[in-house]
Amino acid sequence: MLRFIVRRLVQMVGVVFVLSLLLFIWLRMLPGGTVSAILGDRATPESRARLEKALGLDQPIWVQYWAYLKRALTGNFGASTGVLPGRDAFDIFLTRFPGTIELSFFAILIAVILGIPMGYLAARRRASFFDNASVIVSLIGVAVPVFFLAFLLKYIFAVQLGWLPVSGRQSNIDATRVTGFFVLDGILTREWDAAWDAFKHLILPAFTLATIPFAVIFRITRASVLEVLDEDFVRTAESKGLTNRIIRGRHVLRNALLPVVTTIGLQVGGLLAGAILTESVFSFGGIGEALALAFEHRDYSVLQVLIMASAATFVIVNLLVDITYAVIDPRVRTR
Amino acid sequence: MKLTRRAATVVLAGSVMVGMAGCAKSDRTTDSNTASGSSSAGSGGGTASDTFTFGAAGAPEVFDPYYASDGETFRITRQIFQGLLGIKPGTADPQPELAESWEPSKDGLSWTFKLRQGVKFTDGEVFNAAAVCYNFERMFDQNEVAQAGPAEYWAYTMLGFKGSETESLYKSCEAKDDSTAVINLTRYTSDFPILLTLESFSMQSPKALKDGDANNVQKEGDGFKYPAYAMAPVGTGPYKLSKYDEANKTITLVRNDDFWGDKAKTANLVFKVIPDESTRRQELEAGSINAYDLPNPADWKGLEEKGNQVLVRPAFNILYMGLNPEKNDKLQDIRVRKAIYMALNRDELVQTQLPEGAKVATQFMPDTVAGYNTALQPMKYDPEAAKALLKEAGAEGMTLQFAYPSEVSRPYMPDPQKIHDALRANLEAIGIKVDVVTKPWNGGYLDGVDNGLFDAWLLGWTGDYNSANNFIGTFFGSDVNDFHTWKTDFGKTLSKELDDANGIVDEGERTTAYEAVNKKIMEDYLPGLPISHSPPALVVGKGVEGLTASPLTAEMFDTVTVTKS
């Protein structure tokens, strides 16, 4: 097991290094750039040249990369030029990462809590009204564009009904920050109003972000349960006279969940892609929104940190999934 | 066994939580919410709120206005800082602020400022002539990194720094006595002293600047690193910075109770950063913000119907169609440029594509700027004459590559694509083949304009202050410019004429000179085609009173009251 983990960790370092190089080159090949973003319509040929020189962007790209690599290895990823000019890019990541984690956690929680039972029930009652209705709901979840769904949810629950806030992570209340996870901070410091306020801010974006993972988890669970229900061992269990509870719990669900766990892992890794849009339309201060802003401003330092960190997260989550897999199914370990 | 393991997990998780909770203490001094509460009964049956919340489109850069250059930062620092000269509300004209009066020497090289007495910075330091000179010397004496980037407005207006290759307009500052400061220039410019209305020239506490090592800007990777002072500004304005919650993207200012003038009417000023425009609108409709900037003109009516007020600013900008004679040599012939201008139906454009109050432009500056030539008439829309002129110039059926920026809205150009569509149809009507190019604003468009990649393009300018030099001087003051006038026979002459006009000390004579240059630009040179002036707006929600819209987007919030219904 340990060897398995070490091997995967070494692979991870390689992936991150290659990615950093490709990313560095790709960003600088994009049309537009930091200088245009900073100067905007005030740019003149002279001011442009001056700023390019000051930022070292007139240097050959390999010189820039070498300087970046040397700095990055000491933990210095450069200062932001667009998202929060002057702030350390890694600090921006640290400030915003808890927001994305908090949002993703609730989103995946919603997707799992709804997706697995609904998928299971739909499979058990195949071709029933419930089955058909849930399949349609899951299809809508995938098909409706996020910005439209977000707009609609905000309009109904925030603007019209006034039950939930429109955007952001918390109202401007006097809240103590401990971990950066606003709900958790409120609980830890017993500032219940702050925790409740942060929680209310999470509901709409979490539901929006959950739509796609929910649809995927629901469908995989349904398909997987259907497949397992047809297996010989289920029939054997039934003929042995085991109770329905044991058959469903120990035989059907446990076997059907293997592909679902993989799917959840992939969905967690992929949540960041969804978070870019969801966080942007809810003005939710996580790394998804920061990525969109950094891209718009061609904020190289922040883009590099955020993309590298997201890639690392993705790789780590996948590693965790593989470990979970190995725990659930011992055969994986020996392969 | 299973149950025990599960129980152990729960116990472990529980004890971690309890442990963390033990370390985490609330910082609250009272158990009430400070910023969002309301107090004191107001007039008209509603309750006066002690907080005005503004939905900002972007996060502020740094709070040291000297190193800032964007509108979102200035909107905040304007409430914290003041300059020697202020801006008369609702106009682009100067008015006394920290200086009560000012007087030039005969040659315009020496300016004496009589300072307001009894003014203190929010750190308790006294504002006096020595503080003024400390500020100017601080702005003048910048390290190489700051000179190249962050000190952008100084570089743009005062040209050079202490020890820099380019000579600065600033020479020295003398504190004659506590209330008299004299600023000496190396040569005269019509922009002085009005450029002192710029946010970047705000007066800051010398002690705070010194203690916070304010000038220590360093390069850090692909960006700049600012000293601690940049996040802890100390000014003389009606508000002071209370808190910048970066994780929650809110900036809170509180009333400066020691302010020398009328105290701010609302105790707290909150800026909530909401980059998405439709979200800002929904926040306003939900009542969680009180105002936001640049509502889409298509939304103005709908916003008003819901009881909000759309405050339209006087148009202090220009939208133009840039032309590049180097890229397309047909454009070197003034007859071709004129023909293109005559083909554009700008009356229709203004009526159909621009917000109410927009005007057809006759020159490269709005009519409130001294030097505007009232005798100039708009180029008449005449497609037939345009066709004939094109034929005469041998450019019939010419191809014109015409670019516009995608995914952006500018105060002078709310919907670039629609404006481009209308103008393109006009050009095609006289037989010009239009090659449409579109690129994201910062995804190749601005680069394309600066690097001369387009034959023709749409761009504009919002004035920084009321001066002809800030408009036409910016465009054509040097012949190395976006319009590539160095490629024409008039480029150098035009730059010289502008330089000469800018150097005339007598205001009347200078105005006449600028009027003459404007006439020449439009009739003899026509380096680009001024299209229109568009009024941008900001919107305030129900119950908000006392906000005066500014053509420079320099609104002050100290006069604002908010009543909750």
- Beta bridge pairs of residue B356: none
B1 or B185, which is more confident: B185
Residue B206 sits in the same domain as residue B183: yes
- B261, B145: one domain: no
B503 occurs within a structural domain: no
Average pLDDT over every residue of B42-48: 57
Based on the fold, state whether residues B108 and B196 are members of the same structural domain: yes
Q: Are B64 and B201 in contact (CB under 8 A)?
A: no
* B72 lies within 8 A of chain A by CB: no
Distance between CA atoms of B186 and B176, rounded to whole angstroms? Answer: 19
Which of B248, B280, B408, B437 to mutate to probe the A interface, most A CBs <10 Å?
A: B248
Q: Pinpoint the alpha helices (H) of A128-191.
A: 129-143, 146-153, 182-188
How many domains would you assign to chain B? 3
> Which CATH number goes with the domain that contains B272?
3.40.190.10
Question: What pLDDT was estimated at residue A243?
Answer: 80
Report phi then psi at B174, rounded to 5.
Answer: -120, 135
pLDDT band of residue B108 (cuts 50, 70, 90) is very high
Q: Are B304 and B394 found together in one domain?
A: no
**Cα angle, residue A202 at apex, residues A201 and A204 outer, rounded to 5°:** 90
Residue B191, pLDDT score: 94
In sequence order, which ranges of B30-151 are alpha helices (DSSP H)?
Answer: 71-80, 129-140, 144-148
Nearest to A84, CA basis, from A75, A76, A70, A94? A94
Q: Determine the residue type at B397.
A: G
Is A87 within 8 Å of B254 (Cβ atoms)? no
Q: Which of B218, B237, B256 is the last residue of a domain?
A: B237
Q: Are residues B92 and B221 in the same domain?
A: yes
Determine, yes or no, domain membership for B516.
no
- Report the SS3 class of residue B540: strand
Residue B458 has φ and ψ, to the nearest 5°, of -105, 130
Position of tokens 């469903």?
Answer: A248
At B482, the amino acid letter reads: D
Cβ(A278)–Cβ(A154) below 8 Å: no
The answer to whether the CB of B539 falls within 8 A of the CB of B547 is no
Which domain-ending residue is among B187, B203, B237?
A: B237
Q: What is the pLDDT of residue B443?
A: 84
State the Cα angle at B156 between B151 and B162, rounded to 5°.
60
> Searching chain A, which residue's CA lies closest to the CA of residue B72?
A84
Distance from CA of A31 to the nearest CA of B (A): 5
Q: Considering CB atoms only, which of B21, B145, B285 is closest to A188?
A: B21
* CB contact B35 to A (< 8 Å): yes
Say if residue B101 is in the same domain as residue B193.
yes
Query: Which is more confidently placed, B220 or B458?
Result: B458
* pLDDT per residue as tens digits for the range B423-440: 999 999 999 999 999 998
Chain A window 217-256: which residues touch B at a Cβ cutoff of 8 Å? none
pLDDT of residue B18: 57
Q: H helices within A2-128, ranges in order?
A: 2-29, 34-39, 45-55, 61-73, 89-124
Confidence of residue A232 (pLDDT cuts 50, 70, 90): confident
Give the pLDDT mean for B100-104: 96
Decide if A37 and B442 are in contact by the 8 Å CB cutoff.
Answer: yes
The CATH number of whichever domain residue B419 belongs to comes to 3.10.105.10
Note whether residue B490 is domain-resident: no
E-assigned strands of B168-308? Answer: 170-177, 180-185, 218-220, 223-225, 239-245, 250-255, 268-273, 291-293
Cα A303 from Cα A321, distance rounded (Å) = 27
B410 shares contact with chain A (CB less than 8 Å)? yes
Residue B21 predicted with pLDDT over 80: no
pLDDT tens digits, A70-81: 888 888 888 998
User: Angle at Cα B544 formed by Cα B540 and Cα B545, nearest 5°?
Assistant: 115
Look-up of token digits 């890639």? A311
A173 or B469: which leads in pLDDT:
B469
Does residue B482 lie in a domain region?
A: no
Residues A172, B447: C-beta atoms closer than 8 Å: no
Q: Determine the average pLDDT of the residues in A62-67.
A: 90
Which residues in B238-265 are b (16+ Cβ under 10 Å) and which e?
bbbbeebbbbbbbbbbbbbeebbeeebb
Q: What's the pLDDT score for residue B12?
A: 61
* pLDDT at B88 (0 to 100): 94
Bridge partners of B252, per DSSP, are B243, B270
Return all residues near B80 (Cβ < 8 A) that are at least 6 apart.
Answer: B63, B233, B235, B237, B239, B240, B241, B253
B459 bridge partner residues = B320
Nearest to A31 among B220, B225, B443 (CB): B443
Query: What pLDDT, in 10s, does the model give residues B131-176?
Result: 999 999 999 999 988 998 889 899 989 999 999 988 999 999 999 9
Task: Answer whether residue B176 is part of any domain.
Answer: yes
pLDDT band at B5 (very low <50, low <70, confident <90, very high): low
B457 vs chain A: nearest CA distance in angstroms?
13
| Backbone Cα Rg of chain A | 24
What is the DSSP annotation of B357-371?
T-EE-SSSS-TTSTT
* Number of residues that make up chain A: 335
Residue B30 has pLDDT above 70, yes or no: no
Position B34 pLDDT exceeds 50:
no
Nearest to B242 by CA among A172, A185, A114: A172
CA B296 – CA A280 distance, rounded (Å)? 19
Query: Nearest CA to CA, how far is B363 from chain A (Å)?
Result: 19
Q: Which of A32, A38, A77 sits opposite B440 (nearest CB)?
A: A32
Residue of B nearest to A71 (CA): B221
Where residue A332 falls among pLDDT bands split at 50, 70, 90?
low
> How confident is the model at residue A247, as a pLDDT?
80
**Which of these three, B210, B237, B264, is where a domain ends?**
B237
| B51-56, strands of its sheet edge to edge | B239-245, B250-255, B268-273, B51-56, B291-293, B537-540, B309-312
Banded pLDDT at A261 (limits 50, 70, 90): confident
Q: Concatenated DSSP letters for B266-289?
A: SSEEEEEE---HHHHHHHHHHTS-
Domain co-membership, B330 together with B308 = no
Tokens encoding B521: 């630009």
Q: Find residue B318's DSSP bridge partners.
A: B461
A165 touches chain B (CB under 8 A): yes
Please check whether residue B18 touches A, CB under 8 A. Answer: no
CA distance A95 to A180: 7
Residues of A in Cβ contact (< 8 Å) with B450: 36, 43-45, 48
Instruction: Please indicate, yes or no, if residue B196 is contained in any of the structural domains.
Output: yes
Q: Where are the alpha helices (DSSP H) in B346-473?
A: 346-353, 383-392, 416-429, 446-450, 468
Examine the domain organization and report whether B201 and B86 are in the same domain: yes
Query: Residue B278's domain spans which residues?
Result: 32-57+238-313+538-557
Please give the order of strands across the beta sheet that includes B456-462. B359-360, B528-533, B317-323, B456-462, B399-406, B433-440
Look at A158 and B220 and tell me if their CB atoms are within 8 Å.
Answer: no
- Cβ contact, residue pair A172, B460, below 8 Å: no
Residues 290-329 of A with CB under 8 A from B: 293, 296-301
Q: Tell me, what's the pLDDT at A327?
A: 73
Does B36 sit within 8 Å of A38, measured CB to CB?
no
Chain A, residues 265-294, CB within 8 A of chain B, namely 280-283, 285, 289, 293
- Residue B252 with chain A: CB contacts under 8 Å: 172
Residues near B526 by Cβ (< 8 Å), separated by ≥ 6?
B334, B337, B338, B341
pTM, to two decimals: 0.89
Write the CATH number for B206: 3.90.76.10
Q: Which residue of B has its CA nearest to A93?
A: B247
Domains and CATH numbers, chain A: 96-334 (1.10.3720.10)
Q: Are residues B281 and B394 in the same domain?
A: no
Contact A159 B285 (CB under 8 A): yes
Interchain pair B24, A51: CB under 8 A: no
Q: Which residue has the tokens 């705000």?
A: B202
Q: Does one domain contain both B85 and B223?
A: yes
Residue B123 falls inside a structural domain: yes
Residues B97 and B221 in one domain: yes
Q: Are B563 and B287 within 8 A, CB to CB?
A: no
Coil, strand, or helix at residue B435?
strand
Contact A50 B222 (CB under 8 A): no
**Sign of torsion over alpha carbons A206, A211, A216, A219:** positive
In a domain, B515, yes or no: no
Q: How far is CA A266 from CA A272, A324, A331, B232, in A?
A: 11, 13, 21, 44
Q: Tell me the two tokens of residue B382.
A: 């005449």
pLDDT digits (tens, 9 = 90+) for B383-406: 999 999 999 999 998 999 999 999
Instruction: Specify whether B398 is located in the same domain as B439.
Output: yes
